[in-house]
């Protein structure tokens, strides 16, 4: 990585929590997700549907993103939906499907946990657990995730500052788990043309302040399918360690977030383009 915090220490108007701070650990942390390493020179692609909806939907999508070059499969089994009347996810059935297709494809799986009571169950199926934007300041959940033995993908709260994001990560490290990946997924601003405002400046800032890997979610960060490729390329250019992208075999039929999901072909094409951007900054995908 080109980041060299020793040469270029940044000044920010808050104190950086000790365990996540570069001051406590100069070297980049590499998070190992069942053999897939995030935080090194390789940029890691995580792809899959927003939610697990059926065997056919998940398996076809997973096989295709694997062929396209994704290294980790995503898919929510427990979904945080704004309306209680929307599809809430398949629950444990969804976790079982994830684990079957994970064995077939060899792709490790990341899936969301919303409640302290679900951590043990979700961690028993997943290779990495996700704490979503809405739960970034759910402190009991952060502590529970810190006590579990699986890596944690922590998404930035939609209203959270960088300081609050780092404090949330500190909870997990402080509870004993240093395998944490930070994910910028867009924040709420006055802008209404996009679902969120993707804060790409969070990448270089976080890479300076902390040793933890940083990835970008351009799907929730824009909420618009056609914007995902350009923001993904920009994310690679700005130094992200990975991308998490929603992909669906039939986006128009998706039960959740279809409008921001790439089709299988769009994902494969994006992978080809991203390899060129990565090469330009001396990294691989």
185 binds ligand PEP (CB under 6 A): yes
Neighbours of 5 (CB within 10 A): 16
Which one of residues 48, 89, 108, 132 is an interface residue with ligand PEP (CB under 6 A)? Answer: 132
Binding mask 22-61 for Mn ion (x = CB under 5 A): ----------------------------x-----------
Q: Quick one: 39 or 223, whose CB is closer to ligand PEP?
A: 223
> Residue 67: CB partners within 8 Å, gap ≥ 6?
268
Name the residue among 221, 266, 253 with its Cα closest to residue 240: 221
Comparing CB distances to ligand PEP, the nearer of 18 and 80 is: 80
Provide the minimum distance between the beta carbon of 89 and ligand PEP in the complex, in angstroms, as a whole number: 10
Minimum CB distance to ligand PEP, residue 137 (Å): 12
Nearer to Mn ion by Cβ, of 16 and 73: the residue is: 73
Which partner in Mn ion, ligand PEP, none is near 223 (CB below 5 to 8 A by kind)? none
Quick check: 91 and 78 in contact, CB under 8 A? Answer: yes
Tell me the per-residue interface mask from 72 to 111 with ligand PEP, x by CB under 6 A, - otherwise.
----x---x-------------------------------
Q: What is the DSSP letter of 23?
A: T
Shortest Cβ 114–Mn ion spacing (Å): 13
DSSP annotation string for 122-186: HHHH-SEEEE-GGGTT-HHHHHHHHHSSS-EEEEPPTT--HHHHHHHHHHHHHTT---EEEEE--
Closest contact distance (angstroms) between CB of 81 and ligand PEP is 9
Partner that binds at residue 80, options Mn ion, ligand PEP, none, CB closer than 5 to 8 Å by kind: ligand PEP
Residue of 155, 207, 233, 283 that binds ligand PEP (CB under 6 A): 155
Q: Which residues pair with 69 in a beta bridge?
A: none
Using the rule CB under 5 A, is 257 a contact of Mn ion?
Answer: yes
Any idea what the Cα angle at residue 30 is, between residues 5 and 197, rounded to 5°?
A: 70
DSSP string, 67-103: HHT-SEEE-BSS---SSTTS----THHHHHHHHHHHH
Q: Residue 285 and residue 278: Cα distance in Å, rounded?
A: 7
- Find the shortest distance in angstroms from Cβ 80 to ligand PEP: 6
Stretch that binds ligand PEP, among 88-96, 114-122, 126-134, 264-272 (CB under 6 A): 126-134
Percent of the chain that is helix, strand, coil (3-state, to 5):
40, 15, 45
Answer for the pair 34, 27: CB distance below 8 angstroms, yes or no: no
Determine the distance from the C-alpha atom of residue 145 to the mean position of all C-alpha atoms in its chain, rounded to a whole number.
15
Position closest to ligand PEP via CB:
132
Q: Interface with ligand PEP by CB under 6 A: which range of 5-13, 37-45, 128-136, 142-150?
A: 128-136
Q: Which residues form the interface with Mn ion (CB under 5 A)?
A: 50, 257
């Amino acid at each position: 990585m080109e980041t060299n915090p020793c040469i270029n220490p940044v000044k920010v108007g808050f104190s950086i929590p000790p365990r996540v701070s570069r001051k406590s650990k100069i070297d980049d942390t590499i998070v190992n997700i069942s053999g897939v390493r995030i935080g090194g020179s390789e940029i890691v692609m995580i792809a899959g549907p927003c939610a697990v909806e059926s065997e056919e939907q998940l398996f076809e999508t997973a096989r295709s993103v694997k062929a396209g070059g994704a290294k980790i499969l995503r898919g929510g089994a427990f979904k945080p939906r704004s309306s209680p009347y929307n599809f809430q996810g398949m629950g444990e059935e969804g976790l079982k499907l994830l684990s079957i297709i994970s064995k077939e494809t060899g792709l490790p799986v990341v899936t969301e946990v919303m409640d302290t009571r679900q951590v043990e169950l979700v961690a028993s199926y997943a290779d990495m657990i996700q704490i979503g934007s809405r739960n970034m300041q759910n402190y009991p959940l952060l502590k529970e995730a810190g006590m579990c033995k699986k890596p944690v993908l922590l998404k930035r709260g939609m209203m959270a500052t960088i300081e609050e994001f780092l404090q949330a990560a500190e909870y997990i490290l402080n509870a004993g788990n240093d395998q944490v990946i930070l994910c910028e997924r867009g924040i709420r601003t006055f802008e209404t043309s996009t679902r969120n405002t993707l804060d790409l400046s969070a990448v270089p800032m976080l890479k300076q302040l902390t040793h933890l890997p940083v990835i970008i979610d351009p799907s929730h960060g824009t909420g618009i399918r056609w914007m995902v490729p350009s923001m993904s390329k920009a994310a690679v250019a700005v130094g992200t360690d990975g991308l998490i992208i929603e992909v669906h075999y039939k986006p128009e039929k998706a039960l959740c977030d279809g409008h921001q999901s790439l089709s299988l072909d769009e994902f494969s094409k994006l992978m080809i383009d991203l390899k060129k951007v990565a090469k330009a900054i001396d990294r691989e995908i």
